[in-house]
Amino acid sequence: MSAQSGAFDLLGRWLASITALQGASAKTVEAYQRDVSGFLGFLANHLGGDLGKAKLGAVKITDMRAWMAHERRRGVGPRSLARELSAVKSFYRWLGEAEGVEVTAPLATRAPKFKAQLPRPVAKDQAKAMIETVELQTLDGWTGARDTAVITLLYGCGLRISEALGLTFAAVPLGETLRIRGKGDKDRIVPVLPTARKAVDSYLALCPFSHTPDTPLFLGKKGKVLNPRHIQKVMEQTRMQLGLPATATPHAMRHSFATHLLEAGGDLRAIQELLGHASLSTTQAYTALDQAHLMAVYRKAHPKGG
């Protein structure tokens, strides 16, 4: 039996627990498994011997610091290391509650400091130009209408690209609202602007494939679900044509949706609901962004702001 098997058995039980009780998505579970497995692998070599509950409960602050130093030597940046530590702490919280393991040292370990990156939205006129120009990147009229519809939904409804491409024909014809299944299989209701309905209708009128309600709404040239890489590529081509920065990505359209709502006086909690953020702190990044925008305008306009 492997010296690590006891700890990895516990890891498996924790992952099963968060899947069953918290509805964690497959991607979240995969990330947790990767991050905590790396930590346990380090401990097995660092502490030696069987790595079971006793060893896990005996971990000291110095052991945690040794692991973090090891990760930094591997080239792991402060943001990624903070994410790994968060996963390890979540694992230890479960160990404390479910197994009675001592968790003081891991939970007291401080995450490395890093500068939070603000979302990088595009300006309103740039978003409009993106939507109007993207159809020029393909030769087939129906694929251009499809790409326009996808990007209009990203900006007009604040969807993630995976959410837009996860829609099926059961969602059409679009009404005034749309039910979206987001991260963690959590549903939310988003309003649908007339321009988004029009863009989707234009695509549907040209789409050459037959379908059932379960068929993916946005199809590739062979009638299969559209690959997100295609949308990323046509946006790359579009932003080059328009002279926009590399930050003008599909996800930037979602950021733009939130930022422009906030600039128009939107309520932060309402925007949180529309974006499907689990935590308000995630949405608050847009507040900082809006303040930065206001200060830039102030400095430019004020006689002594320069």
Q: How many CA atoms does the CB half-sphere of 217 hold within 13 Å?
A: 26
| Contact (CB, 8 A) for 221 and 186 | no
Active-site annotation holds for 72 = no
DSSP assignment of 147-211 equals: HHHHHHHHHHH---HHHHHT-BGGG-S--SEEEEE-GGG-EEEEE--HHHHHHHHHHHHH--S--
Annotated catalytic residue: which of 32, 92, 155, 286? 286
Query: Which of 32, 92, 155, 160 is an active site residue?
Result: 160
181 is catalytic: no
Any catalytic annotation for residue 286? yes
User: Is 73 assigned a catalytic role?
Assistant: no
Decide if 40 contacts 7 (C-beta within 8 A): yes
Question: Which residues, including other chains, have CB under 8 Å from residue 225's CB and lie 6 or more apart?
Answer: 165, 216, 218, 219
**Rg, C-alpha atoms of the chain:** 24
Out of 183, 198, 221, 293, pick the active-site residue.
183
Distance, CA of 97 to CA of 21 (rounded, Å): 14
Return the structure tokens found at 249.
Answer: 């990505």
Helix axes 250-263, 268-275, angle to 10 degrees: 160
Residue 183: active-site member: yes
- Clarify whether 160 is annotated catalytic: yes
Separation of alpha carbons 181 and 220, rounded Å: 22
Residue of 89, 181, 221, 251 marked catalytic = 251
Q: Which of 55, 197, 239, 277 is catalytic?
A: 277
**Active-site residue set:** 160, 183, 251, 254, 277, 286
